[in-house]
Each structure stands twice: as structure tokens, then as C-alpha cells.
């Protein structure tokens, strides 16, 4: 975790960091080239493991939100309720497997008797798999993990969160806008939290012609857990058994 003063403690490098690091190229280029080439097999292995583990989970919804949200926060409880309602409606729940809103999603799924899935990521300071995950997969590479979220989900529910949450949000919108995935609802939960972003998108991106009017319809906003279920079901009912994305 971050220190209270915002500085990060020293830690070992992650596999993502090693993959993306370029400083070593100046002094160890021949060695680096071999390392990068062989790392392809590790990446491939992660894809194979993810596909094998997740291919049988059935209709699922991915839930995102801040890892820093505490269990006594009302939004944690709302996420837990939302996941439970989705579970009772026939969906498995996929999260990042960590604390905060991820834990709330997995907890709600388990309470509903639905399959609770965690796609955990190797990070330097956090995070272990939360105790409410029934089926967990550990990933070293963000891009492999993100592929699993999209491939095995029938929609996203996005609760208040930070950069990681925004990353998942805008990547999904890009994939929908460019026709890479279809029938994929994206629901933002929390009007107070998200309305400023929605207004900025409308006032700047839309008004300046950087997106088209229909693109605004890719986002749906609500404060009601039951409405989340309705919005997901309207586009991706669990009985449809849609094929995986991508």
C-alpha cells in the first residue's frame, strides 16, 4: 500500500514492470532481447490458464471499483447488494479479486449462491485474494487479466474508483465503439460520483466532435441496484448464453 505521505516503499519489481522497462536496453540489449522473446511463452501460459479456468463459468458480470473502500462504507454495502441481486438473476460475478469494492462484489455473489470469481493481479504493494472468492486466477500481466474481464463478461458494473477503475471503463467503451465487442452494457453506479465525468464528456468530447452523439448511449447511470440488474438483463440476459467476447 502507499505510505501516508504518498511515497511508495521500496519493493521488488513485478513481471509487468520488467516487461515494460526500457532502461536496461542501453547496457544489456542482447540479453534483454533474449529475455523479452522468451517472456512471450510466459504470457502465452497466462492466456492458456485464464481460458481454461474461466471458460466454464457461464454468464457473468464484471464489477469494478476502488480497492481502498472499507466495509463500513455505504457504497461497499450497495455493491454487495448489487452483486447479490445479479447472482440471484443468474450471473456469476467477476472482480479483480482484491479488497474494497472487489471484495464487496465477491461477497455479494457468495451470499446469493452465485459463482464468485477473482482475477487477481501481481502488484508491488497489494493485493491478496479476498476471502469471498470461490474461483481465483492469479495474473502477472495487466493486459492478460483485462482480456479475461472482457472475454468472459456480459457487461460491466462500475462503482466509484480510481485510475484502475477508469482504465477498465474507457477500455470497454473503446472496444464497444470500435465494434470489437457487442451487446455489452456498461453501467456506472453512483450519480453523484460519475455525473461530473459524464458532463465533461458531453461538454468537451461530444461538443468538440471527438465522439458522436450515439456514443453517449454507451454509458448508463444509476443509483439503484435493481436497476443495474434490469439494464444488464435488457442487453445480455443470462439465458441467452452469448459466446465469449473477443
Q: What is the CATH number of the domain that holds 119?
A: 3.40.50.450
Structural domains in the chain (count) = 1
Kindly state the cell numbers that stand for 124: 508491488
Domain presence at residue 175: yes
The gap between the terminal CA atoms of the chain, to the nearest Å, is: 33
Q: Cβ distance 95 to 118 under 8 Å?
A: yes
Domain presence at residue 166: yes
The string of pLDDT tens digits covering residues 140-198 is 999 999 999 999 999 999 999 999 999 999 999 999 999 999 999 999 999 999 999 99
pTM (2 d.p.): 0.86
Domain presence at residue 41: no
Alpha-carbon gap, residue 1 to 68, rounded angstroms: 10
Q: What is the mean pLDDT of residues 77-85?
A: 98
Kindly state the cell numbers that stand for 121: 493481479
Cα within 13 Å of Cα(195), Cβ side: 5
- The domain of 93 spans 47-237
Which residues, 6+ apart, have CB-to-CB distance to 216 below 8 Å?
201, 202, 206
Domain presence at residue 66: yes
Domain presence at residue 30: no
Domain presence at residue 81: yes
Q: Cβ distance 132 to 225 under 8 Å?
A: no
Domain presence at residue 73: yes
The string of pLDDT tens digits covering residues 90-108 is 999 999 999 999 999 999 9
Amino acid at each position: 500500500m502507499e505510505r501516508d505521505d504518498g511515497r511508495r516503499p521500496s519493493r521488488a519489481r513485478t513481471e509487468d514492470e520488467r516487461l515494460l522497462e526500457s532502461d536496461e536496453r542501453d547496457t544489456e540489449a542482447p540479453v534483454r532481447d533474449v529475455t523479452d522473446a522468451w517472456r512471450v511463452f510466459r504470457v502465452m501460459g497466462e492466456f492458456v490458464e485464464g481460458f481454461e479456468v474461466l471458460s466454464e463459468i457461464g454468464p457473468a458480470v464484471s464489477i469494478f471499483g476502488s480497492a481502498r473502500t472499507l466495509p463500513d462504507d455505504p457504497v461497499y454495502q450497495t455493491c454487495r447488494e448489487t452483486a447479490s441481486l445479479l447472482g440471484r438473476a443468474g450471473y456469476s460475478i467477476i472482480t479483480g479479486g482484491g479488497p474494497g469494492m472487489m471484495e464487496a462484489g465477491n461477497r455479494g455473489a457468495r451470499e446469493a449462491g452465485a459463482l464468485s470469481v477473482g482475477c487477481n493481479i501481481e502488484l508491488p504493494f497489494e493485493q491478496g485474494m479476498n476471502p469471498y472468492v470461490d474461483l481465483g486466477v492469479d495474473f502477472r500481466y495487466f493486459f492478460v487479466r483485462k482480456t479475461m474481464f472482457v472475454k468472459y463478461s456480459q457487461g460491466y458494473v462500475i462503482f466509484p474508483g480510481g485510475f484502475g477503475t477508469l482504465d477498465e471503463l474507457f477500455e470497454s467503451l473503446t472496444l464497444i465503439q470500435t465494434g470489437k465487442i457487442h451487446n455489452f452494457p456498461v453501467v456506472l453506479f453512483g450519480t453523484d460520483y460519475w455525473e461530473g465525468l459524464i458532463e465533461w464528456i458531453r461538454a468537451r468530447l461530444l461538443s468538440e466532435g471527438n465522439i458522436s452523439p450515439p456514443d453517449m448511449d454507451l454509458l448508463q447511470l444509476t443509483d439503484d441496484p435493481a436497476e443495474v440488474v434490469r439494464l444488464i438483463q435488457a442487453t445480455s440476459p443470462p439465458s441467452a448464453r452469448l459466446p465469449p467476447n473477443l
